Structure 1
């Protein structure tokens, strides 16, 4: 969850589904992400007060900074994009899996090979 640094929510250690019932929320435009949030909430997002949507995390941050609402935001591993914002983790934790897929019928480009090798290195560290 992305919240204004000076908000009451920013003082919370975690955000639970009950914390979101009355908040103006900024949600992702991607259906797959919203499906994950709905499963986490155990109810459809349409039951919440959705005031805006975003397609990039930077846009969500700008909307939160402008006082539009609080962003349902999955990206906890990146830095908070602006100093006037706070990231509060969700509880229970919500994680998302990503698949990296490529064709075995032709060799990957040098850039793709670098990315694949980097992903394997990161996986082996965890």
Structure 2
């Protein structure tokens, strides 16, 4: 159980509200809600009940609250004792590339915490395709990047992020397919498809067992998913994509159908080998490693 999760839990317990706790923690409400649900799932118990609009601790929640307060007290006390008042203030600028994916939220969460801990550090995020991001990484224009597999990472150090990206089909809400809740991989044959222009992704799709030896009807390719929303809405084709790429966009006229059997890929954090990273970048990499390295 991470220290960060305990801080989130205690903030909700104190405020009795996800929205107020999120403001206190300087993170988004959906992010905090997801973290609390994840904590309850990992403990296999409900920590809160909702009464009259307030988040009220259950018996399990009260037990965890006492333990969390003790753990955080010892953690903060130990950090304070080891802190050197003469330590040089961490500063600098970090440039990060990130694909459209569910793990974009992971990056945002880590940066929120990192900047809160080191308020002299600034950052910039470049969003684009994996190819665009790799090009900028190779040129030294980016320090780190979050990429979607499949992608060659021979030139980079790599950390596989734990949240897997789910593949599916984005369809028009007016399509007959919108009546479905999922789509069998075999059903992709014959459907007019819009697909990523990346060769690695196209080869991955063709390698799916149920599609081997079959020809897909790919009517168009794209680099970023927002370019094809209107094409999907107007039923030019349905887009093969990961669910996370549709996050924070207007999906009122489209629907995501997860592919069954479930098909997922990983996102990876990468940074160049044989390159001396600035101290601030090294510290952020260490934070990722501490949080997600097995």
1:27 and 2:195 equivalent?
yes
**RMSD (CA atoms):** 2.8
Aligned-residue offset at 1:88: 0.8
Aligned-residue offset at 1:72: 0.8
Contact 2:186-2:211 at 8 Å conserved across structures: no
- Equivalent of 1:107, from 254, 257, 277? 277
The whole-number CA distance in structure 1 between the counterparts of 2:192 and 2:200 is 21
More helix by share: 2
Please say which structure displays the higher CA radius of gyration. Answer: 2
The whole-number CA distance in structure 2 between the counterparts of 1:28 and 1:9 is 21
* Count of residue correspondences: 122
5+ residue gaps, structure 2, are: 1-168
1:71 and 2:239 equivalent?
yes
More strand by share: 2
TM alignment of 1:1-126, pairs within 5 A: 1-40=169-208, 41-43=210-212, 47-73=215-241, 75-78=242-245, 79=247, 81-82=249-250, 83-99=252-268, 100-108=270-278, 110=280, 113-114=283-284, 116=285, 119-120=288-289, 123=292
Contact 1:80-1:87 at 8 Å conserved across structures: no
Q: TM-score, normalised by structure 2?
A: 0.36
5+ residue gaps, structure 1, are: none
**Could you say if the C-alpha distance between residues 44 and 102 of structure 1 is closer, same or farther in structure 2, counting changes exceeding 3 Å?**
farther
Q: TM-score, normalised by structure 1?
A: 0.76
